[in-house]
Amino acid sequence: MNMPPIVSPQEWETARQELLVKEKELTRARDALAAERRRMPRMAVEHDYRFEGPTGPASLLDLFDGRRQLIVYRFFFEPGVGGWPEHGCYGCSFLADQVAHVAHLNARDTTLAFVSRAPQPDIERWKARMGWEQIPWYTITDRFDADFGVDEWHGTNVFAREGDRIFRTYLVNNRGDEAVGSTWSYLDLTALGRQEEWEDSPVGYPQTPPYKWWNLHDEYGEAA
């Protein structure tokens, strides 16, 4: 391996500060892109999509679980996919292992759900093996995956609702999916963002001071 040179502490700090300038530029560019994402037009969802959940049939509206925003990841675990029925797609599984505790998303009025075409008994078995019990997971029963660009490849669709009206607000797929999993990465994909006061968001968007809403994942109910 052609390793970088060994330098003094002072030289190392100089190199770090030089790189930090570029890193801060990247952070500001990422924040600006998220701000632009929050201003994307919405697409009305007109079809009544149906799923099968752990407790029976469910609509797309049900997947929101009463919250304002919904993030749906299309997981490839089903007949015809390599590894079936013992395991799901390796890439999808890698992503699932990165998912932070969903209580933090829920505290921002946002629900995360996975969908695939596997029957519920197989999903429950697979979730238990991999330790993904916290992630709600539904079976696709209609053309949802084809209509939202995730019938042949994984992807994350984002939705928002106003009452019973549902809107598609964003889609990320291909390499864009590889870095998601943290609470912040998911919230940056949503129409409302992190909902913190420092963000550049349209007038009237819900925002609160940073740090103030953060909590232990098992104490959000007490805070509410």
Residue owning tokens 């928002």: 160
**Residue found by looking up tokens 């969802």 in the block:** 45
Q: Which of 126, 141, 132, 125 is nearest to 53 (CA)?
A: 141
The residues spanned by each domain of the chain are: 38-223
116 φ, ψ (degrees, to nearest 5) = -155, -175
User: Judging by beta carbons within 10 Å of its beta carbon (0-12, 13-18, 19+), is residue 1 exposed, middle or buried?
Assistant: exposed
pLDDT at residue number 176: 84
Using an 8 Å Cβ cutoff, are 111 and 136 in contact? yes
pLDDT by 10s per residue, the chain, length 224? 999 999 999 999 999 999 999 999 999 999 999 999 999 999 999 999 999 999 999 999 999 999 999 999 999 999 999 999 999 999 999 999 999 999 999 999 999 999 999 999 999 999 999 999 999 999 999 999 999 999 999 999 999 999 999 999 999 998 888 889 999 999 999 999 999 999 999 999 999 999 999 999 999 986 54
| pLDDT for the residue 222 | 65
End-to-end CA distance of the chain: 54
* Residue 83 confidence (pLDDT): 95
CA distance 25 to 104: 27
Closest CA to 157 of 176, 144, 170: 170
Q: What is the 3-state secondary structure (H, E, C) of 44-100?
A: ECCCCCEEEECCEEEEHHHHCCCCCEEEEEECCCCCCCCCCCCCCCHHHHHHHHCCC
Q: Which of 68, 32, 104 minimizes the C-alpha distance to 205? A: 68
Rounded Cα–Cα distance for residues 80 and 88 (Å):
11
Q: To which residue do tokens 């799901």 refer?
A: 88
The secondary structure of 119-143 as a DSSP string is -HHHHHHHHHHHT-TTS-EEEE-SS
CATH architecture observed for domain 38-223: 3-Layer(aba) Sandwich (3.40)
Contacts of 196 (CB under 8 A, 6+ apart): 207, 208, 209, 210
Enumerate residues 6+ apart whose C-beta is below 8 A from 220: 103, 104, 106, 107
The pLDDT, as a whole number, for residue 104 is 98
